[in-house]
Chains A and B, each alone.
Chain A
Amino acid sequence: MDLALAPETLARWQFGITTVYHFLFVPLTISLAALTAGLQTAWVRTGKEKYLRATKFWGKLFLINIAMGVVTGIVQEFQFGMNWSDYSRFVGDVFGAPLAFEALIAFFFESTFIGLWIFGWDRLPKKIHLACIWMVSIGTLLSAYFILAANSWMQHPVGYRINEEKGRAELTDFWLVLTQNTTLNQVFHSFSAAFLTGGAFMVGIAAFHLMRKKHIPVMRTSLRLGLVTLAVGGLFTAISGDTLGKVMYEQQPMKMAAAEALWDGEEPAPFSVFAYGDVDKGHNEVALEIPGLLSFLAHSDFESYVPGINDTNEALQEKFGPGDYKPIVPVAYWGFRWMIGFGMASFSLGLLGLWLTRKKFLLPAAHRTGEDEVPHLMLLKKPLGSRLTRLYWLLALWTMAFPLIANAWGWIFTEMGRQPWVVYGVMRTEDAVSPGVSTAEVITSMSVFTLLYAVLAVIEVRLLAKYVKAGPPELSESDLNPPTKLGGDVRDADKPMAFSY
């Protein structure tokens, strides 16, 4: 059979497509839930209408987004069994537990409280309604935590033993699976990246309105919140990326050597800025490097030895027997760079924006602006001219999807960099696929998912654009007079619901 049609190749493509697609919605869901909750808290505490309008505006975008996150998540729960049945048989004892925890704790939390939040504006007292969105936010974080613990076990299996008689891995220490350093670093990194993503999204949309001088009070607040989220999220993404990288140098040296296209070990090892080479020959033909930096990234000093792809491959052959233990090097190398490049580009834009829109404490009094004015972008002592100002707003708008690209490449790098293993050092991907599922079946499902997801993407983006353009809604009387009783006040039994499908 043609190699391109090997069963695991197709199953991997399907998993890649459905998972990368699912993960377009996940980070936005995580961050927008928390940001919406924050804005609603500000409304409840201060009573300022701009916060309620902001809550409704961002809340709506959040809902359009989470709807897609939820439905594409269903596929994730089932495709381990559908396409990876031998994987499921082998690791279910370990891997199933965090998934069950995720469903029973996090999914119920999210889905129940989101229903309460969507329909609860005229059914729940203000503070209880606010508590619901916080519950949703906690649900999204817990959900991410459990699934990242499961993924971390695939990256670095711990707390298990192999039961030879049953031919499977069995859990021996669940707590270790939940708290090993791979899990903690991945959680730290993914959460930060989620807020980087949400921050960039908020900044881009706020910039769009401020550029047109519309909805200024709400968008001014949103811009500020978005910039802070973007900068803090970006900073933590960088820090956690560094710590996660160091963990990976210990746990999966091959992945990190491939990330640098470092074919042979070096002491000290350079960081590659650009490389072009022949994978078959096993070396680079063109390489632009920063000396010593890779040693620092791996081990926090500029001298130490970092093993290369060829050395690591030999070491793995000695340990696991003959074979090729290299991932696809260009994918790992460029995936790693695109992840960092796109993520840090957004981060820089956030830092710049934070400086340009700085407040009182560094800003001469003459340039401070009121609540209903577009803030001046202040590079030094004078505001930027209208062209440069417009350029910043446009940059913010056009780059708001950068973190999504970074996230996708981050996962592609993480997962493809682990190949040929599905569970590092324990199970190979080729042994994980469902033996009973035919090529035709996988082609069918992959085509259907791809087509459906493409159609839904168009629908979703157009819907988002519509609500972004519409701006924050006007507030109605019932918005400003939330009920005081659970289930709603009995003012008028025939009054229309505040929200209905």
Chain B
Amino acid sequence: MELHDVWFVLIAVLWTGYFFLEGFDFGVGILTRLLARDRAEKRVLINTIGPVWDGNEVWLLTAGGATFAAFPEWYATLFSGFYLPLLVILICLIIRGVAFEYRAKRPEESWQRNWETAIFWTSLIPAFLWGVAFGNIVRGVKIDAEFEYVGSLWDLLNPYALLGGLVTLTLFTFHGTVFTALKTVGEIRERARRLARRVGLVTAVLASAFLLWTQADKGDGTSLIALAVAVAALVAALLANRAGREGWAFALSGITIVAAVAMLFLTLFPNVMPSTLDADWSLTVTNASSSPYTLKIMTWLAVIATPVVLLYQGWTYWVFRKRIGTQHIADPVH
């Protein structure tokens, strides 16, 4: 395995980490409309991810930075090619971050409601758009001999990619629902479990369709295994949720995300961004990657820093392991 293959795997790991972690906090953001009955419950939801959402988002920044360093051509083609969708995602992430931090900083109800509305939409829109983006990456887009994206915005909104968007949207919502069941106490916990059943079923249908489509289009033996794991884990997550095993349900919905992302990357390899115009114009791990020297330095960085990051991020979750209910939310800070 050469270093650029290692980095293909590491980029996949970073995106997986991002979708696993921010997946549930996007889900929780969406649940502020879907599940919360009153303002107090909204605050319970927001506070389940309060200490961690920022750290979760850094997985995206790291995926971006690492792609820049390890696969400059991929970074350049992807981000300039998907310009407008990415702009929308950035705008959402800007507003979302400010919304979390500022919402409780004024007591006025209108102020807080506005930020709550912002949290809902800015969680929902990126949750959908990331699926669209990855659908297009896997499916391939119009890339010319210069590695420039030459398609239009409408080319990106094809049925396969849009289905991908619905899959991430529902899967993240499901992931957020089981996370909420695991992290809350009281009535909201019960309702989260009930909602998880319904959302889980919709997710299972959409995800199976999308992954089977992917398999039919691009799949091989290994991707089929990943597909099977993803679907099995999702079904198992539903069963665990029904049985009231909230920890298991969350772990299994996480495995669903891991396996689904793994499947997409497996079907992608050795391409990183296939061209639909000419196979020779596809970006691959070899023609898009950095020099061996840069990859070596980056590998050392990853080997040393990633375990440390996992350790202290994991520790954060442990520190804030207590369940939260409406009784734990004090009056708004003034």
Chain A residues close to B by CB (< 8 Å): 63-64, 67-68, 70-72, 74-75, 77-78, 80-83, 85-86, 88-89, 91-97, 99-105, 107-108, 111-116, 118-120, 123-124, 163, 168, 170-172, 174, 434-437, 441, 444-445, 448, 452, 456, 459, 463, 466-467, 470, 486-488, 494-497, 499-501
Contact = CB atoms under 8 A, between A and B. Distances in A.
A171 B147 contact: no
A162 B327 CA distance: 63
A436 B294 contact: no
Contact of A104 (B66, B72, B91, B321): B66
A74 B95 CA distance: 11
Given A96-B294, A104-B301, A171-B293, A85 B76 contact: yes
A456 B98 contact: yes
B30 to A, nearest CB: 17
Contacts of A112: 54-55, 58, 309, 312-313, 316
A163 B291 contact: yes
A373 B89 CA distance: 52
Nearest to B119: A501
A69 to B, nearest CB: 10
A45 B62 CA distance: 37
Given A85-B76, A115-B52, A123 B87 contact: no
| 3 closest A-B pairs by CB | A92-B72, A81-B79, A96-B69
Interface in B60-75: 60-62, 64-66, 68-73, 75
Contacts of B147: 89
Interface in B74-88: 75-81, 83-84, 86-87
Interface string B89-113: 0110111011011111110000000
A445 B83 contact: yes
Contact of B61 (A68, A103, A456, A496): A103
A82 B83 contact: yes
B98 A67 contact: yes
Contacts of B77: 85
B146 to A, nearest CB: 8
A427 to B, nearest CB: 13
Nearest to B63: A103
Contacts of A499: 333
9 contacts: A89-B76, A92-B68, A93-B72, A99-B68, A103-B62, A108-B313, A116-B316, A459-B102, A487-B321
A436 B149 contact: yes
A97 B84 contact: no
B50 interface: yes
B94 A72 contact: yes
Given A71-B94, A111-B55, A496-B329, A93 B291 contact: yes
Contact of A70 (B97, B297, B309): B97
B183 interface: no
A119 B53 CA distance: 12
B106 A104 contact: no
Contacts of A445: 83-84, 87
A107 B62 contact: yes
A275 B298 CA distance: 49
Interface residues of B, number: 80
B90 A437 contact: no
Contacts of B72: 88-89, 91-93, 96, 168
A431 to B, nearest CB: 13
Contact of B76 (A81, A97, A115, A486): A81
Interface in B159-193: none
Nearest to A86: B76
Interface string B278-297: 00000000000011011001
B43 interface: yes
A445 B85 CA distance: 11
B319 A116 contact: yes
Most buried by B among A74, A75, A83, A172: A74
B213 interface: no
B83 A99 contact: no
A436 B321 contact: no
Contact of A123 (B47, B100, B320): B320
B65 A99 contact: yes
A439 B84 CA distance: 12
Contacts of A101: 301
A115 B105 CA distance: 16
Given A75-B90, A89-B73, A96-B290, A436 B81 contact: yes
A305 B61 CA distance: 47
Interface string B258-300: 0000000000000000000000000000000011011001100
B293 A170 contact: yes
A386 to B, nearest CB: 33
A70 B148 CA distance: 30
Contact of A105 (B101, B305, B334): B305
A118 B318 contact: no
